[in-house]
Structure 1
Amino acid sequence: MEGLNFKLEIFEGPLDLMLSLIQKHKLNIQDIEISILLDQFMLYLDRMSEADLEIASEFLEMAARLIMIKSAALLPKEEAEQMKKELQGALIEYALCKTMAERLRKRFLGDVVFVREPMEIEIDKAYHKIHQPEELMLAYSALNERTRRKASYRPRSIKPIVAKSYVTVFTGIVAVLKSLRRNGTVKMDELYRDQPRSRTVATFLAILELSKEGRIYISPDGSSVRLRTKADDESHEGNTAETAGTEQ
C-alpha cells in the first residue's frame, strides 16, 4: 500500500485531521487500519513541532488514544473491537456534523450572494386602441359631466341631534316645595307658567304626590296651593268628628 501524504494544514481538532486523512486517501471509515492512521497522525504532530506550532492538548489526547487502541491488539478481542468502534462512532458523528455545517454555510452564502434587488418593470402607458369619433365624443362628454358634478357637489349639513331634557318627579317635588316655602300661597297657573312639557308633567305629578302625602293644601276651587299647617290638621280633625256625630 502506498504511503499517505498530506500538506501541513491547520485543522479544527484531531477528529478533523483524522477525517481529512480518511477522505483524502479513500479509506473506509467502518474498517480503519489503526496502525496506518496512527503513523500519519504522529507524522502530522512531528511536522507541527518542526514548524514551531503549538500542539493543542486534544491532539495529544487523540494520539494517546490511537496508541492505546493499537496496543489493545494484545488484549482480548472484544475490548479491542469496542475501543475501535468508539473511535469509528466519533468519526462518523463528526463527519455528519461537518456535512450539515457545510450545507448551512452554502445556504447562507447563497442568500447573501444571489439575492438581487427588485427589478423595475417598465409599463407601456400608451393607449393603442382605435375608436370611432362618436365614441370619443360620448366619453369626453361623460368626463365633463362627472367633473361638473364633482365641482358643484356640496355636502349636506347635518343638524346636531339635541336630546330632550327629562325631568323626574323628584325634581318637580323639590321645585314645588321650594316655591311654596319662598312665596307661601302660590297660584296653580304660576307653577306651570313658561315650562316645557316634561317639566309641566313632572310638576303635576309632584303636586299629586305631595297632596297624597298631606304635605300641601289645595284650595277647594283648585286655583291655589300652599304648604299644609297644623291649623289645617286641627280643622280637618274637627270636621271629621262633626261628620261622625251627625251620622250617629
Structure 2
Amino acid sequence: MAPSHNETTGPEQAETPGADAEAHGFSVSLGNFSGPFDLLLTLIGKHELDITDISLSRVTDGFIAYLRDLNSADELDEATEFLVIAATLLDLKVVGLLPQGELVDAEDVALLEARDLLFARLLQYRAFKEASAWFSGKFDAETGRRFRSVRLEEKYRQQTPELVWTVTADDFAAIALLAFTPRELPSVGLDHLHAPLVSIREQAAYVVALLRAGEPLSFRELIAGADQKGVVVARFLAVLELYRGEAISFEQ
C-alpha cells in the first residue's frame, strides 16, 4: 500500500520537545496541523481533520523525543496512554485508506462498523481524560481544607448550657454492672413446629401389656388413653404388626 502524500512531501517535522512542551504536554507540528496532541484527537473525533492526512510516523517520532525529557515516573504513564491512542489512530487510518465503494456485501458493512467503533473508542478516551482532569482539579481544590483543632471560642462557649450532673459514681457503677451481667438466653421450644414422634415399638408393647390381662379389648378401648392423633395412628399400626406376627388375633 502506497503512503499518503503528506508522508512523502511537505515540511512536516515533529516539534522538538523542551521544557515548555513538558509543562504543557505533548504537542505536534505538521504541515496541516500544529498544536497539542489532545487538540489533534478532538479534531479527528469531530471529523474536522482527515486521519489519512496525518503522518503518524512523525507524530510517533516526536513523542519518543518528548519522552526523553520526562522523568521515569511520568514516562510509563505517558507512553502507555500514547500507545493506546496511537493504535486507535492507526486502525482508523488503515480503514480510511482502504478503497471505499458502494456497500455490496457484508464485509463492507463490517468495515464501516469497525470505523465507527474506533471513533467511539477515541471519544471514550477523551471522556475519561476529561473526567480524570475534573477529579484532579477537585482533589487539588480540597487539599487546603483542614479540620478545626482548637477549642470553641469563648463567645460561643458562653452560649452552651451548663452541664449539671445528676448521676453519682455509684449510679454509674450500677449501670455498668447491669450492662456487663450475662443475660440468660431465652429457650425456644419446638413443640409448635411439629408433633412429637411416636414409637410404634413402644405402642406395641403397650398393647401387649393391656391384652395380657386376659380379656379381649376393642380398638376404642386400646386408644382410650391416647390424647394425640400420632399416638392413635401408631397404636393402630402396632396392632397390625402384632397381627402379622401372629402375636394377637382380632375380629372385625
Please indicate the TM-score interval, normalised by the length of the shorter structure.
Answer: 0.3 to 0.5
Give the structure-2-normalised TM-score: 0.33
* Greater share of residues in helix: 1
Larger Rg, first or second structure (1 or 2): 1
Give the structure-1-normalised TM-score: 0.33
